[in-house]
């Protein structure tokens, strides 16, 4: 497991994403499933969930 705030790098490095918000899991899914579900890249999924603000 590796943690990062570099959202742009996630798609190239990881196959699974867990996004936390104030200690609670907001999202836990594979990169492939997130792309197909949201029809956008991980950075755009992050912006949609968190309103575009990086922690």
- pLDDT of the chain, 55 residues: tens digit per residue: 777 777 777 788 889 999 888 889 999 999 999 999 999 988 898 888 888 765 5
Give the pairing of strands 24-30 and 16-21.
Answer: antiparallel
The sign of the CA dihedral 39, 24, 47, 42 is negative
Q: How far is CA 14 from CA 23, 30, 35, 50, in A?
A: 21, 9, 13, 20
> Global pTM?
0.72
């Amino acid at each position: 497991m590796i943690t990062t705030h570099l959202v742009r790098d996630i798609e190239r490095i990881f196959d699974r994403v867990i996004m936390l918000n104030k200690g609670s899991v907001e999202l836990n899914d594979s990169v492939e499933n997130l792309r197909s579900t949201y029809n956008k890249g991980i950075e755009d999924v992050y912006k949609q969930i968190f309103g575009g603000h990086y922690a």
